[in-house]
Structure 1
Amino acid sequence: MGKGMPRRRSASRILLVSSSQRLLLFKICYKTGAMAGRCYWATPGGGLRSGESFEAAAFRELYEETGFRTQSVGRCLAHKEFIWQMPDGERVLAVENYYVVRTAVEQCSTARWSAQEREVVCEIRWWAENELMASTEEILPSDLPILFAQALLISRPNDG
Protein backbone atom coordinates (compact mmCIF):
# COMPACT_ATOMS: atom_id res chain seq x y z
CA MET A 1 0.00 0.00 0.00
CA GLY A 2 1.54 3.31 -1.03
CA LYS A 3 1.76 6.17 1.41
CA GLY A 4 -0.84 8.75 0.51
CA MET A 5 -0.66 12.38 1.39
CA PRO A 6 -0.60 12.88 5.14
CA ARG A 7 -3.73 14.28 6.78
CA ARG A 8 -3.82 18.08 6.95
CA ARG A 9 -3.83 19.41 10.49
CA SER A 10 -4.75 23.09 10.52
CA ALA A 11 -3.75 25.09 13.59
CA SER A 12 -3.61 28.67 14.82
CA ARG A 13 -0.68 29.93 16.87
CA ILE A 14 -0.47 33.15 18.82
CA LEU A 15 2.45 35.46 19.48
CA LEU A 16 1.24 36.99 22.74
CA VAL A 17 3.37 40.10 23.24
CA SER A 18 3.34 42.07 26.50
CA SER A 19 3.69 45.81 26.90
CA SER A 20 7.24 45.03 28.10
CA GLN A 21 7.85 43.62 24.58
CA ARG A 22 8.14 40.06 25.83
CA LEU A 23 6.72 36.92 24.23
CA LEU A 24 4.84 34.13 26.02
CA LEU A 25 6.15 30.63 25.31
CA PHE A 26 5.34 27.20 26.73
CA LYS A 27 8.03 24.57 27.21
CA ILE A 28 6.65 21.28 25.91
CA CYS A 29 8.25 18.08 27.23
CA TYR A 30 6.99 14.70 26.06
CA LYS A 31 7.51 11.90 28.57
CA THR A 32 5.80 9.11 26.61
CA GLY A 33 4.87 8.08 23.08
CA ALA A 34 6.55 8.77 19.75
CA MET A 35 7.93 12.12 20.97
CA ALA A 36 9.24 10.83 24.32
CA GLY A 37 12.31 12.76 25.48
CA ARG A 38 11.67 15.68 23.12
CA CYS A 39 11.51 19.16 24.65
CA TYR A 40 10.97 22.48 22.90
CA TRP A 41 9.49 25.94 23.43
CA ALA A 42 6.41 26.97 21.44
CA THR A 43 3.73 29.63 21.27
CA PRO A 44 0.20 29.09 22.58
CA GLY A 45 -2.16 27.68 20.00
CA GLY A 46 -3.70 24.53 18.66
CA GLY A 47 -5.75 22.73 16.07
CA LEU A 48 -8.90 23.99 14.41
CA ARG A 49 -12.14 22.26 15.31
CA SER A 50 -14.51 21.10 12.58
CA GLY A 51 -15.86 24.09 10.66
CA GLU A 52 -13.81 26.56 12.69
CA SER A 53 -11.86 29.39 11.06
CA PHE A 54 -8.19 30.08 11.82
CA GLU A 55 -9.24 33.33 13.52
CA ALA A 56 -11.90 31.64 15.66
CA ALA A 57 -9.41 28.95 16.70
CA ALA A 58 -6.86 31.63 17.61
CA PHE A 59 -9.44 33.34 19.88
CA ARG A 60 -10.46 30.04 21.50
CA GLU A 61 -6.96 28.64 21.96
CA LEU A 62 -5.67 31.91 23.38
CA TYR A 63 -8.47 31.90 25.95
CA GLU A 64 -8.14 28.18 26.79
CA GLU A 65 -4.36 28.24 27.13
CA THR A 66 -3.76 31.66 28.72
CA GLY A 67 -7.13 32.89 30.03
CA PHE A 68 -6.62 36.00 27.88
CA ARG A 69 -9.50 37.42 25.85
CA THR A 70 -8.78 39.76 22.98
CA GLN A 71 -10.85 42.08 20.79
CA SER A 72 -9.08 41.01 17.61
CA VAL A 73 -6.35 38.61 16.52
CA GLY A 74 -5.58 40.92 13.61
CA ARG A 75 -4.35 39.64 10.31
CA CYS A 76 -2.21 36.58 9.84
CA LEU A 77 1.48 37.36 10.40
CA ALA A 78 2.80 34.13 8.86
CA HIS A 79 1.51 30.97 7.20
CA LYS A 80 3.50 27.74 7.38
CA GLU A 81 3.08 24.23 5.99
CA PHE A 82 5.40 21.43 7.07
CA ILE A 83 5.41 17.74 7.98
CA TRP A 84 5.01 17.23 11.71
CA GLN A 85 4.97 14.14 13.89
CA MET A 86 2.07 14.01 16.33
CA PRO A 87 2.61 12.65 19.86
CA ASP A 88 0.86 9.42 18.80
CA GLY A 89 3.38 8.97 15.97
CA GLU A 90 1.11 10.02 13.09
CA ARG A 91 2.82 12.24 10.54
CA VAL A 92 0.61 15.10 9.39
CA LEU A 93 0.88 18.09 7.10
CA ALA A 94 0.76 20.91 9.64
CA VAL A 95 -0.88 24.05 8.25
CA GLU A 96 -0.36 26.91 10.69
CA ASN A 97 -1.37 30.56 10.76
CA TYR A 98 0.39 32.87 13.21
CA TYR A 99 -1.34 35.86 14.82
CA VAL A 100 -0.03 38.67 17.03
CA VAL A 101 -1.97 39.65 20.15
CA ARG A 102 -0.90 42.41 22.54
CA THR A 103 -1.44 42.25 26.29
CA ALA A 104 -0.80 44.84 28.99
CA VAL A 105 -0.09 42.28 31.71
CA GLU A 106 2.25 39.30 31.78
CA GLN A 107 0.00 36.67 33.23
CA CYS A 108 -1.19 33.26 32.15
CA SER A 109 -4.09 31.26 33.54
CA THR A 110 -3.89 27.46 33.28
CA ALA A 111 -7.45 27.01 34.62
CA ARG A 112 -8.84 25.82 31.26
CA TRP A 113 -5.97 23.53 30.27
CA SER A 114 -6.71 20.04 29.01
CA ALA A 115 -5.24 16.99 30.73
CA GLN A 116 -2.80 16.64 27.82
CA GLU A 117 -1.62 20.24 28.18
CA ARG A 118 -1.10 19.74 31.91
CA GLU A 119 0.95 16.65 31.15
CA VAL A 120 3.28 18.08 28.50
CA VAL A 121 3.74 21.77 29.41
CA CYS A 122 6.56 21.89 31.95
CA GLU A 123 7.32 25.62 32.01
CA ILE A 124 5.74 28.98 31.13
CA ARG A 125 7.98 31.93 30.41
CA TRP A 126 7.91 35.46 28.97
CA TRP A 127 10.89 36.00 26.65
CA ALA A 128 12.63 39.22 25.63
CA GLU A 129 13.78 39.35 22.01
CA ASN A 130 17.48 39.12 22.90
CA GLU A 131 16.83 36.08 25.15
CA LEU A 132 15.04 34.32 22.31
CA MET A 133 17.91 35.09 19.90
CA ALA A 134 20.51 33.84 22.38
CA SER A 135 18.74 30.66 23.49
CA THR A 136 20.36 27.31 22.68
CA GLU A 137 17.16 25.40 23.49
CA GLU A 138 14.91 24.20 20.69
CA ILE A 139 12.30 26.83 19.85
CA LEU A 140 9.55 26.21 17.30
CA PRO A 141 9.11 27.38 14.68
CA SER A 142 12.85 27.77 14.07
CA ASP A 143 12.34 31.29 12.68
CA LEU A 144 10.33 32.42 15.73
CA PRO A 145 12.93 35.11 16.61
CA ILE A 146 12.28 36.65 13.16
CA LEU A 147 8.51 36.42 13.58
CA PHE A 148 8.82 38.00 17.03
CA ALA A 149 10.88 40.87 15.59
CA GLN A 150 8.19 41.39 12.93
CA ALA A 151 5.47 41.27 15.61
CA LEU A 152 7.25 44.00 17.58
CA LEU A 153 7.20 46.22 14.48
CA ILE A 154 3.46 45.88 13.99
CA SER A 155 1.68 48.86 15.47
CA ARG A 156 -1.17 48.23 17.85
CA PRO A 157 -4.58 47.98 16.21
CA ASN A 158 -6.17 51.37 15.45
CA ASP A 159 -2.78 53.10 15.57
CA GLY A 160 -3.00 53.73 11.82
Structure 2
Amino acid sequence: MPADPAARAAGPRQVSRVILLDPADRILLLHGFEPADPADDWWFTPGGGLEGTESREQAALRELAEETGITDVLLGPVLWHRYCSFPFDGRRWEQDEWYFLARTAQTETAMGGLTELERRSVTGARWWTSEELLAARETVYPTRLAELLKTLLDDGPPAAPVVLAPEIV
Protein backbone atom coordinates (compact mmCIF):
# COMPACT_ATOMS: atom_id res chain seq x y z
CA MET A 1 0.00 0.00 0.00
CA PRO A 2 1.45 3.41 -0.91
CA ALA A 3 2.52 5.58 1.99
CA ASP A 4 0.97 9.00 2.52
CA PRO A 5 3.23 11.63 0.82
CA ALA A 6 2.76 14.03 3.76
CA ALA A 7 3.97 11.35 6.17
CA ARG A 8 7.02 10.75 3.98
CA ALA A 9 8.02 14.40 4.17
CA ALA A 10 8.07 14.32 7.98
CA GLY A 11 10.88 11.78 8.35
CA PRO A 12 13.87 10.37 6.50
CA ARG A 13 13.73 9.95 2.74
CA GLN A 14 11.94 6.69 1.90
CA VAL A 15 14.18 4.62 -0.39
CA SER A 16 13.85 1.30 -2.20
CA ARG A 17 17.05 -0.46 -3.22
CA VAL A 18 17.54 -3.57 -5.33
CA ILE A 19 19.82 -6.54 -4.79
CA LEU A 20 19.76 -7.58 -8.45
CA LEU A 21 21.17 -11.02 -9.22
CA ASP A 22 21.78 -12.53 -12.65
CA PRO A 23 21.54 -16.28 -13.46
CA ALA A 24 25.16 -16.74 -12.26
CA ASP A 25 24.30 -15.09 -8.90
CA ARG A 26 26.36 -12.01 -9.68
CA ILE A 27 25.13 -8.74 -8.10
CA LEU A 28 24.85 -5.49 -10.04
CA LEU A 29 26.42 -2.46 -8.37
CA LEU A 30 26.70 1.12 -9.55
CA HIS A 31 29.90 3.15 -9.22
CA GLY A 32 29.48 6.66 -7.88
CA PHE A 33 31.45 9.53 -6.43
CA GLU A 34 31.09 12.82 -4.61
CA PRO A 35 30.54 15.45 -7.35
CA ALA A 36 32.92 17.93 -5.67
CA ASP A 37 35.62 15.25 -5.17
CA PRO A 38 35.68 12.45 -7.79
CA ALA A 39 38.43 10.66 -5.81
CA ASP A 40 35.83 10.05 -3.06
CA ASP A 41 34.12 7.10 -4.72
CA TRP A 42 32.15 3.96 -3.83
CA TRP A 43 29.96 1.16 -5.15
CA PHE A 44 26.26 0.93 -4.27
CA THR A 45 23.04 -0.88 -5.11
CA PRO A 46 20.56 0.56 -7.61
CA GLY A 47 17.61 2.35 -6.08
CA GLY A 48 16.28 5.64 -4.87
CA GLY A 49 13.49 7.62 -3.30
CA LEU A 50 9.80 6.98 -3.60
CA GLU A 51 7.90 9.45 -5.78
CA GLY A 52 4.32 10.59 -5.24
CA THR A 53 2.13 7.77 -4.02
CA GLU A 54 4.12 4.88 -5.48
CA SER A 55 4.75 1.79 -3.37
CA ARG A 56 8.18 0.57 -2.30
CA GLU A 57 7.94 -2.15 -4.97
CA GLN A 58 7.00 0.34 -7.69
CA ALA A 59 9.90 2.60 -6.68
CA ALA A 60 12.35 -0.32 -6.76
CA LEU A 61 11.35 -1.28 -10.30
CA ARG A 62 11.24 2.33 -11.57
CA GLU A 63 14.62 3.21 -10.09
CA LEU A 64 16.17 0.02 -11.47
CA ALA A 65 14.87 0.81 -14.96
CA GLU A 66 16.01 4.45 -14.79
CA GLU A 67 19.49 3.71 -13.44
CA THR A 68 20.30 0.51 -15.36
CA GLY A 69 17.83 0.12 -18.22
CA ILE A 70 16.96 -3.33 -16.85
CA THR A 71 13.21 -3.96 -16.97
CA ASP A 72 12.94 -7.76 -17.27
CA VAL A 73 12.96 -8.37 -13.52
CA LEU A 74 11.34 -10.74 -11.06
CA LEU A 75 11.05 -8.71 -7.86
CA GLY A 76 11.28 -10.79 -4.72
CA PRO A 77 10.99 -10.16 -1.00
CA VAL A 78 12.45 -7.40 1.14
CA LEU A 79 15.75 -8.72 2.49
CA TRP A 80 17.05 -5.91 4.67
CA HIS A 81 15.99 -2.62 6.21
CA ARG A 82 18.51 0.12 7.04
CA TYR A 83 18.64 3.69 8.27
CA CYS A 84 21.56 5.74 6.98
CA SER A 85 22.73 9.34 7.12
CA PHE A 86 25.54 10.74 5.00
CA PRO A 87 26.83 13.94 3.38
CA PHE A 88 26.53 14.12 -0.41
CA ASP A 89 26.56 16.98 -2.90
CA GLY A 90 26.64 19.66 -0.23
CA ARG A 91 23.84 18.41 2.01
CA ARG A 92 23.03 15.70 4.58
CA TRP A 93 20.84 12.83 3.41
CA GLU A 94 18.83 10.76 5.89
CA GLN A 95 17.30 7.63 4.42
CA ASP A 96 15.06 4.74 5.45
CA GLU A 97 16.12 2.04 2.97
CA TRP A 98 14.42 -1.24 2.07
CA TYR A 99 16.47 -3.73 0.04
CA PHE A 100 14.51 -5.97 -2.34
CA LEU A 101 15.83 -9.18 -3.87
CA ALA A 102 15.38 -9.29 -7.64
CA ARG A 103 16.42 -11.65 -10.41
CA THR A 104 17.05 -10.99 -14.08
CA ALA A 105 18.56 -12.61 -17.15
CA GLN A 106 19.02 -9.14 -18.71
CA THR A 107 22.67 -8.27 -17.98
CA GLU A 108 23.32 -5.43 -20.43
CA THR A 109 22.92 -2.04 -18.77
CA ALA A 110 21.96 1.37 -20.14
CA MET A 111 21.97 4.45 -17.94
CA GLY A 112 19.74 6.67 -20.05
CA GLY A 113 17.30 7.51 -17.27
CA LEU A 114 19.70 9.08 -14.77
CA THR A 115 18.74 12.32 -13.05
CA GLU A 116 20.94 15.39 -13.42
CA LEU A 117 22.63 14.68 -10.07
CA GLU A 118 23.17 11.02 -11.01
CA ARG A 119 24.72 12.05 -14.35
CA ARG A 120 27.21 14.15 -12.34
CA SER A 121 28.02 11.38 -9.85
CA VAL A 122 27.56 7.89 -11.38
CA THR A 123 30.25 6.51 -13.67
CA GLY A 124 28.97 3.04 -14.51
CA ALA A 125 27.80 -0.37 -13.44
CA ARG A 126 29.45 -3.73 -12.87
CA TRP A 127 28.32 -7.27 -12.14
CA TRP A 128 30.23 -8.73 -9.17
CA THR A 129 30.58 -12.32 -8.01
CA SER A 130 30.30 -12.93 -4.29
CA GLU A 131 34.00 -13.79 -4.21
CA GLU A 132 34.96 -10.54 -5.98
CA LEU A 133 32.86 -8.54 -3.56
CA LEU A 134 34.39 -10.30 -0.53
CA ALA A 135 37.89 -9.49 -1.87
CA ALA A 136 37.10 -5.90 -2.88
CA ARG A 137 39.18 -3.07 -1.43
CA GLU A 138 36.82 -0.38 -2.72
CA THR A 139 34.16 1.21 -0.52
CA VAL A 140 30.79 -0.53 -0.90
CA TYR A 141 27.42 0.45 0.61
CA PRO A 142 25.90 -0.94 2.67
CA THR A 143 29.27 -1.64 4.28
CA ARG A 144 28.45 -5.29 5.08
CA LEU A 145 27.14 -6.05 1.57
CA ALA A 146 29.75 -8.73 0.80
CA GLU A 147 28.88 -10.66 3.97
CA LEU A 148 25.13 -10.13 3.48
CA LEU A 149 25.30 -11.37 -0.12
CA LYS A 150 27.27 -14.48 0.87
CA THR A 151 24.66 -15.30 3.54
CA LEU A 152 21.85 -14.70 1.03
CA LEU A 153 23.43 -17.01 -1.54
CA ASP A 154 24.28 -19.69 1.06
CA ASP A 155 21.03 -19.64 3.05
CA GLY A 156 18.42 -18.01 0.80
CA PRO A 157 16.27 -15.00 1.68
CA PRO A 158 15.49 -14.44 5.37
CA ALA A 159 12.01 -15.33 6.64
CA ALA A 160 11.51 -11.66 7.58
CA PRO A 161 13.52 -8.55 6.64
CA VAL A 162 16.73 -8.22 8.66
CA VAL A 163 17.24 -4.83 10.30
CA LEU A 164 20.82 -3.72 9.59
CA ALA A 165 22.76 -1.51 11.96
CA PRO A 166 22.35 2.18 11.13
CA GLU A 167 25.16 3.71 9.06
CA ILE A 168 25.95 7.31 9.86
CA VAL A 169 28.84 8.86 7.99
TM-score, reference length from structure 2: 0.77
Instruction: Assess, with a 3 A threshold, how the Cα gap between structure 1 residues 139 and 55 changes in structure 2: closer, same or farther.
Output: same
1-structure distance, mates of 2:123, 2:19: 19
Report the counterpart of residue 137 of structure 1 in structure 2. Answer: 138
8 Å Cα contact 1:26-1:124 kept in structure 2: yes
- 1:3 alignment partner in structure 2: none
Corresponding residue of 2:40: 38
Residue identity opposite 2:112 in structure 1 = A
Aligned-partner SS, 1:116: helix
Which 4+ residue blocks in structure 1 deviate beyond 3 angstroms?
A: none
Return the alpha-carbon distance in structure 2 between the equivalents of residues 22 and 71 of structure 1: 14
- For residues 7 and 92 of structure 1, the distance between their equivalents in structure 2, rounded to whole angstroms, comes to 11
Deviation at 1:126, TM superposition (A): 0.7
RMSD (Å), alpha carbons: 2.1
Structure 1 residues 55, 19: CA separation in 2 closer, same or farther (over 3 Å shift)?
Answer: same
Tell me the CA shift for residue 71 of structure 1: 5.5
Q: Is the Cα–Cα contact under 8 Å of residues 27 and 123 in structure 1 kept in the other structure? A: yes
Which of residues 40, 46, 49 in structure 2 aligns to 1:47? 49
**Once the two structures are aligned, what percentage of the paired residues are identical?**
33
Structure with the largest fraction of strand: 2
Note the C-alpha offset of 1:113.
1.9
| 1:120 to partner: Cα distance | 0.9
Indicate if the aligned counterparts of 1:19 and 1:105 stay in contact, CA closer than 8 A.
Answer: no
Match of 1:62 in 2: 64
The gaps in structure 1 that reach 5 residues or longer are: 1-5, 156-160
Quote the offset at 1:95 in angstroms.
Answer: 0.3
2:31 is matched with 27
- The superposition leaves residues 65-86 of structure 1 with CA deviations (integer Å, 9 ceiling, x where unpaired) of 1122246422210000122224
Q: Distance in 1 between matches of 2:125 and 2:73?
A: 24
More deviation in 47-56 or 146-155? 146-155
- CA shift, 1:138, in A, is 0.4
Amino acid in structure 1 at the alignment position of 2:44 = A
TM-score by length of 1: 0.81
143-152 or 44-53, which moves further after superposition? 143-152
The aligned amino acid for 1:77 is L
